[in-house]
Amino acid sequence: MSKGYGPLADRPDKPAVGLEVSHESADLHVTGAALYTNDLIGRTLGTLHAWPVQAPHAHARLTGLRVAAAYDVPGVVRVLTADDVPGLNDAGEKHDEPLFPSEVMYHGHAICWVLGETLEAARLGAARIEADYEPLPALITTRDAIRAGSYQGEHRTVSRGDAAAALDTAAYRFSGELEIGGQEHFYLETQAALAIVDENGQIFVQSSTQHPTETQDIVAHVLGVPAHQVTVQCLRMGGGFGGKEFQPHGLAAIAALGATLTGHPVSLRLNRTQDITMTGKRHPFFATWEAGFDAGKRLCALRATLTSNGGWSLDLSEPVLARALCHIDNAYWIPDIEVHGRVAKTNRQSNTAFRGFGGPQGMIVIEDILGRCAPALGVEPHELRRRNFYRPGQATPYGQPVRHAERLAAIWSLCAERSDFDRRQAAVAAFNAAHQDTKRGLAITPVKFGISFNLTAFNQAGALVHVYKDGSVLINHGGTEMGQGLHTKMIQVAATALGVPMAAVRLAPTRTDKVPNTSATAASAGADLNGGAVKNACDQIRERLAIVAAGRLGVPAEDVRFAGGMVTGLGAGDQRIAWPELVHDAYMRRVQLWAAGFYRTEGLHWDAERMQGEPFKYFAYGAAAAEVEVDGFTGAYRLRRADIVHDVGDSLSPLVDLGQIEGGFVQGVGWLTLEELLWDETDGPNRGRLNTQAASTYKIPSFSEMPEEFNVHLFERATESGVVYGSKAVGEPPLMEAFSVREALRQAVGAFGPAGWSVTLATPATPEAVYWAVRAARDAAPSEQPAPAYVGA
């Protein structure tokens, strides 16, 4: 490996990247000293508080609004309505999300906002506002929308070959359907914004946002001002998971509008019930499919239709659907394939990004197919998966070569070995034979996940690095910190690139007047993009300093080395220059000590109309083995053990990556087995109301759902070329390793039935759903087994 600073993936001697360091704000987090957006209210005099007036209908026309009574409440300062908007009354980029609606589109839709000197005053004022509604028919479920033909956005298709012909000639043919539930983000910090306007009309917005630039754009177009008049800063977020990629913008615009009209700072923070009832979720999907296998039990054809529930507006539904279509293959070669995608329009909150961004919904379809078809094919599920893996030289249905496909088999084998899969499989069989009312299941599943934004333009980032005269370093970059450790990695990247101790580097909050035109911190690309930009800025500074050092050391500039806060030269003997000394010397010579860095992901091209191209820089790979135990009387389960092998390339920060893998896996387990969103689907007055509005009714994973034994291993010798210091993204891919838990539940449920019973499992596979699946398996007689050439539907 190069000892200099050449290709992006090369690491110098003694790098700070790769060290196991704690999160840069860990001490602040655990002591409570870390500041979040809402904490700033106490430091901002005269702050007003915003409270929404939420409509009690899933779909209705707003025919009257009387706000005068709100002003009778002491402390109420202003009621914001559509008449107050000086610019564009829209909270989105597609102009389909009125900030103040004239037509209510979901139960809990905010029709206006009250500003009060206290939150209680604003709440009481909102309760005084009178509104008249003309109720309209409401579509609540995805099936409702399909029956009504209610769709929005573009329909997309990914295809290769002739799926219909291949299905007709397949040795085995199956069909079925799968309904996939949504998921509430349930970040610790709810949506929050604080807006201040100065004497020149400049708007400063503190926002808990994953996409400060887009928040800036929306605030500007609502206020009717140019972007340069709006600055957005994100100190940090108490979790995001995609829920703060698009949804914060309109809320920040409300705060900014209130600040502009009143001259006071305005705080908007949703309480938990407001957040759950007003903001979007992971998209529920409904899939229908036909799959064909050849005589060797290998996939030869797939034809499917994926329908996502977009809610009332598009938000990010189109790119979420595109990623689902591009991930339905997961780790498997499917020669002939035709998959259609469409976005349903319903009277629900506008669904949005969630960790995995549609990838999980696409991937679970093929995993469900293999899990359901394996018994009918007479093949063990893990063997059916293994024999269908991509091999070197093969490409995805959308035309991207699967580079490093051999890693799939290597990671799979390593996971099986480290989890002792073969021995434990025999032990599970023995346990099940000895226990009538409790069964265990063991499953292993793979992950192949594409890294980069589907929208090619988003694959760019900027950074600003300052080196001060004393040698200390300040970095700004366009990524946001939501607890995932991005800032920690960026400090490690800067320290490595400049050859200084990490203690010499400080990171400033993300803000749009320092690094403009940023992309969202999403798509797992935060470290790739911003790390490339930070390194680029540091490289510029280091190259200037190398010229100064070369003159003092008597060596060519390309032979100067920076490491551990010291500067040396090849062939310069024992001569060493301390970093602060060199920096001061450079300043005295009038050498520029700051730089703006930029990075763009090379090699990407994508035709969104044809759904063909190479949209991803690389694929992240992984495998997980999980063992569960199911109680046949209640459907309750225990996750006895989970083993993960995951490919993060050469990790920038192993301790941070370990936390991301563990957290992503557990969040995936929540989506697949616990978290169930329930709406009122009756024709009564509460039709469309979200019934799971709080932690008391919506179950997220807790300590008791953690695997009793949890082993995570980072795949070794996995340098990824063309990415900052050879690393790979880690935010989203581990979530899909939770498929192993769902498939283990399928195995355990199947053990309650006759040999070869094909289990149909709901998503999420809650204890209730598992109970009914157990009942079906127990009630089945061997003669009721599905025909060998047919499963499901």
Catalytic residue numbers? 732
- List beta partners, residue 626: 443, 642
The helix/strand/coil state of 15 is coil
The full DSSP string for 680-738 is --SSSTTTT-BS--STTTS----GGGS-SEEEEEEPSS---TTSGGGB---SSGGGGGG
Ramachandran assignment for 483, one of left (phi > 0), alpha (psi -120 to 50 degrees), beta (any other): left
CA distance 689 to 642: 37
Closest CA to 349 of 318, 317, 306, 310: 310
- List beta partners, residue 113: 52, 80
- Find the helix packing angle between 359-377 and 317-325, rounded to 10°: 30
Question: CA-based diameter of the chain, in Å?
Answer: 89
Edge-to-edge strand list for the sheet holding 110-116: 76-80, 110-116, 48-54, 266-269, 192-197, 203-207, 230-234, 510-511
Count Cα neighbours of 584 within 13 Å in the Cβ-side half-sphere. Answer: 6
Per residue in 665-687, is it b (16+ CB within 10 Å) or e — as a string? bbbbbbbbbbbbbebbeeeeeeb
Show the tokens assigned to 196. 């201040």
Residue 332 Cα to chain centre, angstroms: 23
Distances in Å between the Cα of 319 and the Cα atoms of 95, 134, 141, 346 are 17, 34, 21, 18
CA distance 404 to 413: 15
CB 535, CB 12: distance < 8 Å? no
- List beta partners, residue 578: 566
